[in-house]
Amino acid sequence: MTDNKELKRNTTAVIFSGWMKNALLLFSFFLLFTEKTEAQYPAEKVPDLEELFPVAKVACGPWIQAVGQNEFTVVWTTNVDAIVWVEVAPDDGTHFYAKERPKYYHSLYGRRVTGKLHRVPVTGLQKGTCYRYRIFQQALLLDKGNKRVVLGDPNGSDILKQLPYKVTTLNPDKNEIRFVMVNDIHANDSVFRQLTKNVHEDNTDFVVFNGDMLTQIESEQQIMDGYLNSACELFASEIPFYALRGNHENRGSFSYEFFNYFPAPGGNAYYAFRHGPAYFIFLDSGEDKPDSDVRFYGLSISDQFREEEAKWLEQVIESSEFKMSPVKIVFMHMPPTERGWHGTLEVERLFMPVLNKANIDLMLSGHIHKHSYIEKGEVNNNFPILINSNLWKTEVSVSSGSLKMQLIDASGKIRKEYSM
Residue 258 sits in the same domain as residue 359: yes
**Residue bearing the bigger pLDDT, 241 or 379:** 241
Residues 152-181: tens digit of each pLDDT:
999 988 878 889 999 999 999 999 999 999
- Write down which residue in 168, 196, 213 finishes a domain: 168
Share of the chain above pLDDT 70, in %: 88
Residue 242 sits in the same domain as residue 316: yes
Rounded CA separation 43/38 (Å): 7
Task: Classify residue 374: in a domain, yes or no.
Answer: yes
Rounded CA separation 363/337 (Å): 12
| Torsions phi, psi for 279 (to 5 deg) | -105, 125
The band of 44, judged by pLDDT with boundaries at 50, 70 and 90, is low
User: In this structure, what DSSP letter does residue 240 have?
Assistant: -
Task: Classify residue 192: in a domain, yes or no.
Answer: yes
* pLDDT of 215: 97
Name every residue whose Cβ is closer than 8 Å to that of residue 58 and which is 6 or more positions away in sequence.
Answer: 76, 77, 78, 79, 135, 137
Instruction: Work out how many domains the chain is built from and give that number.
Output: 2
Q: How high is the mean pLDDT of the chain?
A: 90
Task: Classify residue 144: in a domain, yes or no.
Answer: yes
Task: Classify residue 136: in a domain, yes or no.
Answer: yes
Per the structure, the complete domain to which residue 237 belongs is given by 176-419
Residue 283 near residue 337, CB atoms below 8 Å: no
Q: What is the CATH number of the domain that holds 122?
A: 2.60.40.10
Residue 268 sits in the same domain as residue 185: yes
Nearest to 116 by CA among 137, 134, 85: 137
Residue 120 sits in the same domain as residue 239: no
* pLDDT of 247: 97
Task: Classify residue 115: in a domain, yes or no.
Answer: yes
**Starting at the edge strand that comes first in sequence, how are the strands of the sheet with 176-182 ordered?**
241-244, 206-210, 176-182, 392-399, 402-409, 414-419
Task: Classify residue 45: in a domain, yes or no.
Answer: no
Task: Classify residue 198: in a domain, yes or no.
Answer: yes
- Write down which residue in 118, 142, 168 finishes a domain: 168
Residue 416 near residue 408, CB atoms below 8 Å: no
| Torsions phi, psi for 37 (to 5 deg) | -65, -45
Residue 180 sits in the same domain as residue 196: yes
Task: Classify residue 20: in a domain, yes or no.
Answer: no
In one-letter notation, the amino acid at residue 29 is F
Determine the Cα angle at 227 with ends 223 and 230, to 5°: 125
- Write down which residue in 128, 151, 168 finishes a domain: 168
Residue 151 sits in the same domain as residue 190: no
Q: What is the CATH number of the domain that holds 395?
A: 3.60.21.10
Residue 95 sits in the same domain as residue 78: yes
Q: How far is CA 26 from CA 13, 22, 34, in A?
A: 20, 6, 12
User: What is the rounded average pLDDT of the residues 329-337?
Assistant: 95
* pLDDT of 32: 43
Residue 154 sits in the same domain as residue 203: no
User: What is the rounded average pLDDT of the residues 122-131?
Assistant: 98
Residue 242 near residue 209, CB atoms below 8 Å: yes
E runs forming strands in 144-205: 149-156, 165-168, 176-182
* pLDDT of 340: 85
Residue 107 sits in the same domain as residue 184: no
Residue 319 sits in the same domain as residue 213: yes
Rounded CA separation 128/140 (Å): 37
Residue 103 sits in the same domain as residue 193: no
Residue 211 sits in the same domain as residue 282: yes
